[in-house]
Every structure is written in structure tokens, then in C-alpha cells.
Amino acid sequence: MTKLHVLDALAEKCRVGLATLADQSDSMFAGFPTATCGNAAEIVGRVLKEQAGYDGQYVEGNKHPKLKPGQSHAWYEVGDYIIDITYDQFEGTGLAGWVFQRGHGWHAEFADVSYTPGFNTPSTWKSYPYDGYEAVMLELQIKPAT
């Protein structure tokens, strides 16, 4: 059973950690949260698995009535919950916090949604965002795994 307070706490740590990289031009997270949703969702998935043992899925949404044509968004889902630490790059979502019930609100308005189980391990990336992972681990006060 997924515990909401655990998701909330880990999502907050991910958000705070990745936000420390927003002003670093050499980071994949430069400008965070803008244009960083996919990488952020991958980090969230990894942290949820490593820190809480939660399996989930990476989600990409397309064709939202409030977004520009061709604009997409990504987040992570565990059980009945959406964990989205970058939605605030968009105006008018009506959301607050970082964890939401699936099937309701802004996320449910995407007409085209694809799901990928789990998260991509570092070995499957050409350039893994180690700085993002390290920033979250520092926020959690845990030595980063390699």
C-alpha cells in the first residue's frame, strides 16, 4: 500500500534538490522546472524505488487543451497517485503540492498518454543527470549511489 505522506515527503525533497540546479547553465536542470519534466520524472521514479521501494511508471502526456499544440509533459505515477514536481511551469493548472490523485484535474485532460513501467537506470542514458540525482540525495542527506 502506497503511503501518501511518504510520496509527499520524497516529492518535496526531489523538488527542492532539483531546484538548486535551476541557475546552473551546465545542468540538464538549468531553468528548472521549465523544460525539465522528463528528466525530473525519471529522478522521481528512481528515488521512490530506492528510498521507499515503490514501483511506478513514467508517464508522458500530449494534446492538452490548455497547452500549445505539440507541447507535452511528463510525470511519474505510483498506484493511484501522480507525482509531478514540474507542472508549475504551466499557468492555470489549478494544482497545489506535488502529489495528486490519478484520474482527476489537469493531468486527466491530456488526450494522448503513454506509460513506461519503472524508470530508466543510469546505464541506459547517454548522459545521465547525475547532478540532479546528487542534488536530491543531498536534500535527503544520503550519499548518492553510482
Residue with cell 491530456: 110
Question: Residues for the chain: how many in total?
Answer: 146
Q: Which of 133, 121, 112, 141 is nearest to 29 (CA)?
A: 133
| Angstrom distance (rounded) from CA 34 to CA 32 | 5
Q: What is the pLDDT of residue 146?
A: 53
Q: What is the pLDDT of residue 108?
A: 97
Quick one: how far is CA 93 from the chain centroid? 16
- Tens of pLDDT along 121-131? 878 877 788 88
Q: In tens digits, what is the pLDDT along the chain, a chain of 146 residues?
A: 569 999 999 999 999 999 999 999 999 999 999 999 999 999 999 999 999 999 999 999 999 999 999 999 999 999 999 999 999 999 999 999 999 999 999 999 999 999 999 988 878 877 788 889 999 999 998 766 65
- Show me where the domains of the chain are located: 4-140
Is residue 97 left, alpha or beta, with left meaning phi > 0 and alpha meaning psi from -120 to 50? Answer: left
Q: What is the pLDDT of residue 27?
A: 95
Q: What is the pLDDT of residue 4?
A: 92
Q: What is the pLDDT of residue 145?
A: 60
Q: Supply φ then ψ for residue 18, to 5 degrees.
A: -70, -30
Residue with cell 510520496: 7
Rounded (10°) CA dihedral 32, 87, 75, 112: -130
Strand partners, 61: 73, 113
Q: What is the pLDDT of residue 126?
A: 75
